[in-house]
Chain A
Amino acid sequence: MEMLTKLEELILLSVLRLKDNAYGTTIYRHIQSVTGKNLSLGGVYFPLDRLARTGYLRAYYGEATEERRGLSRRYYYLTDKGIEALADIRRVNEVMWAGFPELAPSEGDHR
């Protein structure tokens, strides 16, 4: 499997979940709300950029609003390579995590 960092994995998953609305701001806010951590936007942006360059994600430019000082959004979607990578991670994770009932997530604690 490709070794991606945890942050990269989270970014890919966010893009998958956010569907057509996956761009910098939304990805950042999504990861922040799930992890509860106060991340730096730059810290998300650069891995995002690298994932796009290395072919896990593809990007296209979207609209520019006044809210953004007239700078356009860049939307991302997963490539096949990205989807494969996530599937890979999932498979490995399940093998690695299997058989530890004491680590199972409790009710209402998911996502």
Chain B
Amino acid sequence: MEHSRAMTWNRARVSVRAGAAVFLAAALARPAAAGATLTVELFDRENRGAVDDEPNGINIADCESHEAWNFRTSLSSVPTNAHLDVWLGSACDQRANRDGADASDCVRVYGDLTMRVGYVNFGIEAPMLVDPHAPGCAEVKTTTKVWVLILNEDADETVYDSGTYDVSIDTQRPAAPVSVTVDFGESRAIVAWEMASGTAVSEQWGFRVLCDPNPTGAAAGTDADADAEAGADDADGGGEATDADGSGEATDAGGAAGGGCTSGGAFAAGDRPIDAWYCTGQIVGSAVRVREIGGLTNGTEYHFAVVALDDYRNPSLVSPVACTVPSEVNDFWETYEAAGGRAEGGCACAIPAVGRTEGVGGLALPLAAALGRRRRPARGRGDRR
């Protein structure tokens, strides 16, 4: 019995060793799966000074300019018998989503990127991120997941390690303002607009005004935001004047000569805006509904429209167009003088001549003299020191 027990124990020890050897061989043959521990980060965007500048995602302009998004992932070691891929899609760590059997499967962007200890960089253009299956700038509002996969070189391409990065995308245009009114001033116009009720706040993050002729010249699209900060609501006029006043109101689908316009302009309602039409910077604030445009030429007909900007800074299509003709206007002083008012105003009135020291002038002079007397002793004390 004792002998028999020893034989049994030895057999057990042999099978444990064999199992360990098999496990070790398997471990050497392919790296063990380490899970989703890779860090994927965005370190550069072609259209942004900093990657965290607003907006964070991809908008129409980013997509249409094929903005490059440059990512990197960091490796602390390089596994053998594995390769590094970059995929776009949902649940790309699942083998079934990488086999291409379904149209909704993940799309491989990079296969077998060179792995090294440290950063591994790769770039993806915005249209690819917007629609991995058919790169382009279709109107979508979605999130695309970037997958970095280290895949074992086995039959099933099991995942050794993985990491993801979410790219938010909004290439949908917001709704355009539904009506635009414009009132004239002297070398200026006051443009006001309305949004449809129920428009989401995110769809009216800001606005930009379009002018034709554009008083800012060809560089209209580079108009600084400081222009917007100058006080978008500083013009408290902007009533809905009638055409007889030389002002326009456009509430329909515009047209070449609608909204009080006597001629066709560079843009019409429903056009896709271009930078050269903008005569203001971004006018930030969903509650802003009026903007004064200065630097206009009296007697010239100007066409105005407005686009809304959503929180991704996507512009809407061009709103209905309204026109006005800036004209000379009289302030109260000019009206007063034109009526024959004899007040002198300004310095001629504020500094009375000798013998005209009535009123506060008469009080101001003794006051100044008193102040002078107070100062002289002070200077005298200073001199004595």
Q: Do A and B originate from a single complex?
A: no
B contact set with A: CB distance below 8 Å = none
A contact set with B: CB distance below 8 Å = none
